[in-house]
């Protein structure tokens, strides 16, 4: 059974940093695009960042560009999101996801991601 488990969330003051991790088990995702999405209370799920299976292609939402960095370690089957200069508007539940299509053109659309983690809460205080 495929499982994605996020960790690293928490409470941080504005301007602070957090590093989220997403550990995959049950199968390897080293040939798949992986991404981070977030959902704040009362809002729709929002794309944050995605990374191709090679790690050589990354894409970010405008709202996090220059502050967040997505990376992956395929030897550990783990995805990361380094978040710097956090703002109160970054407060949300952050979920990692994997595109089940191997070696496919990278995507940012949530409908293309077939495996999702439960999420980790990030709260940024002002």
Q: What is the pLDDT of residues 53-100, one digit of tens each?
A: 887 899 999 999 999 999 999 999 999 999 999 999 999 999 999 998
**Two tokens at 70?**
């997505």
Q: How many CB atoms lie within 10 A of CB 94?
A: 23
How high does pLDDT run on average in the chain?
94
**Two tokens at 110?**
């949530």
**Two tokens at 15?**
């301007």
Reduced to 3 states, what is the DSSP secondary structure of residue 13? strand
Q: What is the DSSP string of 22-40?
A: EEEESS--TTS-EEEEEE-
Residues forming a β-bridge with 39:
93
Residues forming a β-bridge with 73:
78
| pLDDT at 28 (0 to 100) | 81
**Two tokens at 39?**
């959902």
């Amino acid at each position: 059974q495929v499982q994605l488990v996020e960790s690293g969330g928490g409470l941080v003051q504005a301007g602070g940093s957090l590093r989220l991790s997403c550990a995959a088990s049950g199968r390897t995702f080293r040939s798949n695009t992986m991404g981070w999405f977030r959902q704040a209370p009362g809002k729709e799920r929002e794309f944050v960042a995605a990374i191709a299976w090679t790690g050589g292609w990354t894409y970010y939402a405008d709202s996090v560009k220059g502050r967040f960095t997505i990376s992956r370690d395929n030897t550990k089957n783990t995805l990361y999101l380094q978040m710097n200069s956090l703002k109160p508007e970054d407060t949300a539940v952050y979920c990692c996801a994997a595109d089940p299509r191997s070696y496919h053109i990278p995507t940012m659309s949530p409908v293309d991601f077939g495996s999702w983690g439960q999420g980790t809460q990030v709260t940024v205080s002002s």
